Structure 1
Amino acid sequence: MDEKEDFVVIDPQIPEEGPSAPPPGWLDCVSGYESSKGGEDPYENYHPPPPYAPPDSSQSSHVPNVREPTVSEDVAREALLKYVESKWSFSSKPAKNLVFKDLKPITVYRYRLETYTESRSSNWDSEPFRGQFVDGPEMGLSPPPWEVPVPYPGKYTDVTYRVRVPHSCVVKPCHQCQSMGNVRCSKCFSRGHSRCSHCFGRGHKGAGKNRRRCTLCHGRGVRRCITCHGRGIRVCPSCEGQRNLFHFLQLTVVWKNNIMAYIPPDKVPEFPMAKFEKVSGDAFFEDENLLVYPIVGFPDQEICAMSKKGIEEHIAKFSSNCRILQQRQAIELVPVTHAFYNYHGKVYEYFVYGKENKVFIPKYPSACTIL
C-alpha cells in the first residue's frame, strides 16, 4: 500500500497534548507563597522584612587629601611604544624619536557606589515522579520565603541559587497526559507521517528530463514522523511516561552587586569619557557599611552631590523588593597625563590614562586614522 494512504490507529483514550503548566487551582496554596505560579510564568519578588531606614542626614563620610597623578617621560614613552606596536599600520619610529614638549597631569576623580542586594521569589516546578521522597505538608509548615536557610556567597558577587521550599512537595496525576503516560503527536497530527520537506510532497524533484525521484522519501511524498517514529503517539514530555508528577515550590535567591560609577563630565574635553570604563584607578578613599553616609568636604562638589544622590536612589530602588546586605563607596583617582611632543617640526599629542597606562591618540605622525 502506498505510504500516502497508510494510517495509524490511535487508541481514542489517548488524549491530545495538554498545556505544560497545570491549570489554575490544580495545586494547593501554600501559606506565604500565594503569588507563586506554575510553569515559566513571571512572578514578583517577595518584600524583605522590615525595610531599612535611610542614613542619618546629619552624618557624613569625610575624605582625606589626595595627591596629583604624575607620569615620567620614560613611562609615557614606554606606554606609547607598547600601543604603537599593537597597531600594524603605525610606525614605531616617531615614538622612539619624539621630543617631549610638555607632560600635563590632569586630576580625574571617579565615584563608585556598590549596593549588594538579595532578592527572593518562588515558582511551582515539577519533575516526573519516580518514587522519590515526598517532603509534603504532613512533615510540617513551609517556612516563609525569607526564613528558608540558604548558603551565602562572598559579598559583592552576582550569584543565583535555587532551592526547594521545605514541606511543599506533592504528587499529582500528570495534567498534560491525564495520567496516561502518552499523548497524541502534535507534530504529525497523529498520522505517523508528514509531508516530505525535500520534495514538498510531490515525490520527485525537477521537471521534464530533469525529473527524478526524491531520494529522501523514495517517491512517496511523505516521511515517517521523526518525533513519534511513526507511532502517532509519543511519551508525555511532562511526566516522561511516569503518569504522575512530583510538584514542589522552588525558591530562587538572587544576590546582585548593583554598581553606579560617575566621573564629572567635561574634565578632559578632548578625551572620550567612555574609555575610563575600561581602566582602574587608585582608590584613595573607601567606605563600607550596612548603609553608607553621603560624602562631604571633598573639593569636587560634584562628587559630594553624586554621593548623596546615588545613595538615596539606591535605597529607594532596592529596599522595597530586595534586602540590602551591604554598601560600599569609593573615590578613585584615575591618572590622566596629556602628553605634547615634537616630531619633524610639528606638535602632536596623546593621553596616558588609567593605572594600566593605556594610550589614546587623536592623531599619530605615521597614520591619519583616529583609533
Structure 2
Amino acid sequence: MYSAAIYPPQHAPAANPFASMPGYEGIGAVVAGGFLPPPVPLQPVAPTQPGPTPEEWNIPALSEDAARQAFKGYVDSQCCYQSGPANEGVITNMESFNTYRLRLETFTESRSTEMAEKPYEGETADFYAQPAPTPWEVQAKIPELFTKHTEEIRVPYTSNIKECNACHAEGTVSCKDCEAKGYKQCNRCNGSGKDGEENCTGCNGTGKDRCSKCSGAGKIKCETCKGKKQLLTFIKLKVEWANNVDNHVVEQNSGLKAEELNSVNGKELFKMAQIMVVYPLYGFPNPAIVEASDRLIKEHQSKYAQTSRIMQQRQTVELIPVTKVNYKWKNNIHVFYVYGKENKVSADDYPETCCCVIL
C-alpha cells in the first residue's frame, strides 16, 4: 500500500504510472485487437445429452387444402399475379422435405482499457490508495444472457487530479470567433462605421459588433474541463457483451433456396444451454447435425476464446417443414413451395403475371 503523503493526488502521475501495475502494463498499446486476454477458464462439466423423442423428429405432412389456402394468400398479396392458377390449378403431387436447422449461440464478454479524463467535479482521487484490481477482477453486472450490451467503468484506485492543459488551469480559453478581441467587424458597414454620410446604425459608428460567442469577453469556457480548471484522470475499462450466432441448415434437395429458410420459424425440437461451452449433439439421429454441431463448437472456441471470455453457449435444433407442390395449369406443370410454421410460399415460376405501373 502506498502513502498519499508521499504521492499527493493533486499532481498528475508520471507518463505511465501503471507500468508496474498488474494487468495495466501495456495500457495505451494495441494488444490482440484491443481486447485483453481473459483468465484461464475452469474445465466445464460435461452435461447430459438431451435429445428429442422419436415422435418429435417429423412434422405432420401439409394437407392439400392448407397448401392451396397458403398459395391463394400468397398470390393475393402480389400486385402483378392473376388469381387463375391459384384458384383453378390442379395439384398433382405434394412432397415433404422436413429440414433441420442448428443454431449455436456463444455469449461472450470482452474487456479493454484506456486512459481517460473528465472535468473534475469533486471526486475522490484514490490513485495509490491501494493496488487497483486487474481488468478481469473489476466487478461488472452481467446483462441478460445472449444479448448485446456495453458498459464503461472507472477502474477503482486509478483516479488522479491534474491541471487542465487546454486552458492552463484558467477555466477559459481565447475566443476563436473574435480572436480574443471581444468584437468583430460590423457586417453592415464592413467596419467603416458609415452608412453613406451617416453613422452606421448597426454599430453606432464604431465599425465593431460585440462577439456573440463570448459576449464581448474575448474568452469562453474551456470545453475540456468545462470551466473546472482541473481534470480527473483514470483508467477506463470497457466491457462488451456479445451474442455470436451461427446457423447450419441440413439441405434436403427440395429445390427451395436455402436462404429463404432464414425468414421463417420451425418447430423447436430442443434447446440446450451450458455455462462456458456446450458439447456436440452426439445423440442426434441426423449425422449431418452431429457433424455441424461439433464443427461450430470448435470454430467458436477458436474464434472467441482468445480475446474474450465465453460465458455461456446455447444450441437449438428446429425442424422446418418444407412442402414441394406440383400443380397443373393449362396443360403445364408448375411448382410452388410452402415452408416454415408460417406456411410461407415461394413460387418463382408463377405462370400468370402482368406488368404493373405504379403512378
TM-score, length-scaled by structure 1: 0.73
Q: What is residue 348 of structure 1 aligned with on the other side?
A: 334
Alpha-carbon separation, structure 1, partners of 2:331 and 2:234: 77
State the number of aligned residues: 324
Q: What is residue 3 of structure 2 aligned with on the other side?
A: none
1:152 aligned to which of 125, 136, 142: 142
What is the Cα deviation at residue 259 of structure 1? 0.8
The change in CA–CA distance for 1:75 and 1:241 in structure 2 (over 3 A counts) is: same
Query: Which deviates the most, 101-110 or 233-242?
Result: 233-242
Q: What is residue 196 of structure 2 aligned with on the other side?
A: none
Describe the superposition over 1:121-168 as per-residue Cα deviations: whole angstroms up to 9, x where unpaired.
22222221132x315135432222222222222211111122222222
Check conservation: 1:35, 1:44, Cα contact below 8 A: no
Q: What is residue 326 of structure 1 aligned with on the other side?
A: 312
Q: Does 1:142 align with 2:132?
A: yes
1:85 aligned to which of 76, 80, 96: 76
Q: What is residue 112 of structure 1 aligned with on the other side?
A: 103
What is the Cα deviation at residue 175 of structure 1? 2.2
Question: Which amino acid is the alignment partner of residue 136 of structure 1?
Answer: D
Alpha-carbon separation, structure 2, partners of 1:248 and 1:280: 48
How is 1:43-192 mapped onto 2 (pairs within 5 angstroms)? 44-51=34-41, 64-65=53-54, 66-68=57-59, 70-131=61-122, 133-137=123-127, 139-185=129-175
What is the Cα deviation at residue 293 of structure 1? 1.7
Q: Does 1:274 align with 2:259?
A: yes
Alpha-carbon separation, structure 2, partners of 1:247 and 1:77: 69
Alpha-carbon separation, structure 1, partners of 2:209 and 2:287: 74
What is the Cα deviation at residue 309 of structure 1? 1.5
Alpha-carbon separation, structure 1, partners of 2:290 and 2:264: 22
Question: Which amino acid is the alignment partner of residue 93 of structure 2?
Answer: D
How is 1:213-228 mapped onto 2 (pairs within 5 angstroms)? none
Q: What is residue 241 of structure 1 aligned with on the other side?
A: 227
Alpha-carbon separation, structure 1, partners of 2:182 and 2:138: 48
Secondary structure at 2:79's aligned position in 1? coil
Describe the superposition over 1:311-363 as per-residue Cα deviations: whole angstroms up to 9, x where unpaired.
11111121112111111222221111111122333322111111121111112
Describe the superposition over 1:192-248 as per-residue Cα deviations: whole angstroms up to 9, x where unpaired.
78999xxxxx99xxxxxxxxxxxxxxxxxx999876677665432211222111222
The change in CA–CA distance for 1:194 and 1:82 in structure 2 (over 3 A counts) is: farther
What is the Cα deviation at residue 261 of structure 1? 0.5
Q: Does 1:284 align with 2:284?
A: no
Query: Which deviates the most, 343-352 or 250-259?
Result: 343-352
Query: Which deviates the most, 26-35 or 286-295?
Result: 26-35
How is 1:285-304 mapped onto 2 (pairs within 5 angstroms)? 285-290=270-275, 291-296=277-282, 298-304=284-290
Check conservation: 1:339, 1:350, Cα contact below 8 A: yes
1:28 aligned to which of 17, 21, 24: 17
Secondary structure at 2:338's aligned position in 1? strand
Q: Does 1:338 align with 2:324?
A: yes
What is the Cα deviation at residue 251 of structure 1? 1.8
Check conservation: 1:119, 1:254, Cα contact below 8 A: yes
The change in CA–CA distance for 1:106 and 1:266 in structure 2 (over 3 A counts) is: closer
Query: Which deviates the most, 42-51 or 245-254?
Result: 42-51
Question: Which amino acid is the alignment partner of residue 110 of structure 1?
Answer: R
What is the Cα deviation at residue 97 of structure 1? 2.8
Alpha-carbon separation, structure 2, partners of 1:136 and 1:42: 30
TM-score, length-scaled by structure 2: 0.75
Secondary structure at 2:98's aligned position in 1? strand
Q: What is residue 251 of structure 1 aligned with on the other side?
A: 237
Question: Which amino acid is the alignment partner of residue 120 of structure 1?
Answer: R
Secondary structure at 1:147's aligned position in 2? coil
How is 1:295-314 mapped onto 2 (pairs within 5 angstroms)? 295-296=281-282, 298-314=284-300
Describe the superposition over 1:62-111 as per-residue Cα deviations: whole angstroms up to 9, x where unpaired.
66541155211222122222222322222334323332111111122212
Instruction: State percent identity of aligned pairs.
Output: 34
Q: What is residue 203 of structure 2 aligned with on the other side?
A: none
Secondary structure at 1:136's aligned position in 2? coil
Alpha-carbon separation, structure 2, partners of 1:262 and 1:61: 19
The change in CA–CA distance for 1:231 and 1:135 in structure 2 (over 3 A counts) is: closer
5+ residue gaps in structure 1?
Answer: 1-22, 197-201, 204-221
